[in-house]
Amino acid sequence: MIVRKLLTDGIVRLTGSTATGGKPRQMLEINARARIGVGIQLAFEAITLVATDTSGGVIARHQIDGAALAPPEKVTRRIVQGYVDFVRGSGLDQTTIAGVAIVAPGPIDQKAGRILGPPTLQHWRDFPLREEIGSGVGVPLLVDNDAAAAGIGEFWSRGVSRHETFGSIYIGSGIGAGVVLDGALYRGASSNAAEIGHVTVVPGGRECFCGNFGCLERYAAPSAVLSEASANKRAFDDLDLTFEVERNARDFDVLGLAAINGHAAARTLIQRSAVYLAEGAVTLANLFDLDALILTGPGVAIAGSMYTRAIRTRLESQRFARSTHPISVELSANPRDAAAIGASSLVLQSTLSPGHGPVLHRSARDRG
């Protein structure tokens, strides 16, 4: 019965039959392209669209201008247009698209399908994101946290055992994390879990938008590292840094490249950021008692090895459960697209295994 349903839906197909003595057996294969998920990462610097199939492979990728400071209505129209261009340009079969997940930095209101305004996207706070995009793209939609999505994406793409307690730390404009338990993202009460960027690393330190002081992301995120660099511009005269907030991501790549090439001042800054991040990693590992930790996000695309080294060193000497089991610390294979790929995995997970992920919503206009 289950096989017949999968055959009807095209998820499984017959590829012939065998008869090695006894009753002939039907041969089946999974048709990975029968269901396609689309993930869209909404960020200040860029908006990334990817499509993945059920094997987890990326079958198309597209990037358009970031949200920057433009009004949400305008950015939304650009996203819808970008989606239409993406589907057409990649030759995707529209009938196979199971849905779209749009991911952004937290906090998010997943039930309402809104983002609640991280610092770079404050003006999006009351914007009905899911409804606006959903009615434009005409397929079911969900809104989720980018760092959490990256976590489930890394989990699937690595073929990790379901029984591993798997964590990932995401460095984008801020710092977030995702924890995967029994093959599903750990959600907590409101899908705002694993907020490692808001662990205090400097008590009474810099004020953070979250209401707390001295949060990890105010010391270790690319924007924090770059504002330290800008306070000592002469040390970075030889590097092509713009020090424009809108170009933080690009400047951080330049700084990271200099650091791994031995630029002393750049190394010092990145190293300091890595030591702070390692402190957050110890807390994440201790609270979830992790087996594995992946570093991902655009912030580790260039100098990621400096971060993994600092984290491994700290976990080896300071992790609470180090005498009972090891922990692996690895770098993502595709850190820049991790959140968009993870978003796409969320769509497929909520389609193929309902109840194990967030719910895809049809927009009111679409339903009507």
By the rule CB under 8 A, 193 interacts with a copy of itself: yes
Residue span 115-144 as binding mask against a copy of itself, x where in contact by CB under 8 A, dash where not: -x----------------------------
Q: 63, 200, 313, 328: which one contacts a copy of itself (CB under 8 A)? A: 200
Q: Is 89 exposed, middle or buried (0-12, 13-18, 19+ CB in 10 A)?
A: exposed
Options 197-205, 258-266, 339-347, 356-364: segment touching a copy of itself (CB under 8 A): 197-205
Place of tokens 């610390």: 329
By the rule CB under 8 A, 190 interacts with a copy of itself: yes
By the rule CB under 8 A, 109 interacts with a copy of itself: yes
Q: Is 91 exposed, middle or buried (0-12, 13-18, 19+ CB in 10 A)?
A: exposed
By the rule CB under 8 A, 218 interacts with a copy of itself: no
Q: Is 217:174 a contact under the CB 8 Å cutoff?
A: yes
Q: Give the 3-state secondary structure of residue 201.
A: coil
Options 70-78, 106-114, 134-142, 339-347: segment touching a copy of itself (CB under 8 A): 106-114
Site residues for a copy of itself, 324-343, by CB under 8 A, read 324-325, 327
CB closer to a copy of itself, 271 vs 286 = 286
d(CA 60, CA 38) in angstroms, rounded, equals 9
What are the Cα distances from residue 112, in Å, to 109, 116, 206? 6, 10, 31
**Of how many residues is the chain composed?**
368
CB closer to a copy of itself, 44 vs 219 = 219
What are the Cα distances from residue 219, in Å, to 94, 138, 247, 276? 44, 41, 18, 7
Q: 283, 313, 328, 334: which one contacts a copy of itself (CB under 8 A)? A: 283
Compute φ and ψ for 144, nearest 5 degrees: -145, 175
Q: 98, 169, 196, 294: which one contacts a copy of itself (CB under 8 A)? A: 196
Q: 55, 230, 264, 320: which one contacts a copy of itself (CB under 8 A)? A: 320
- Shortest spacing between CB 288 and a copy of itself, in angstroms: 5
By the rule CB under 8 A, 146 interacts with a copy of itself: no
By the rule CB under 8 A, 290 interacts with a copy of itself: yes
H runs (alpha helix) in the chain: 2-8, 72-90, 129-137, 146-158, 217-220, 222-230, 248-260, 264-288, 304-318, 338-352, 364-367
- DSSP label at 358? P
- Shortest spacing between CB 246 and a copy of itself, in angstroms: 26
CB closer to a copy of itself, 145 vs 351 = 145
What lies within 8 Å, CB to CB, of 286 at 6+ separation is 319, 320, 321
Q: 24, 57, 188, 354: which one contacts a copy of itself (CB under 8 A)? A: 188
CB closer to a copy of itself, 29 vs 207 = 207
Interacting residues with a copy of itself (CB under 8 A)? 106-107, 109, 116, 164-165, 187-196, 198-203, 210-212, 279, 282-284, 286-291, 317-325, 327
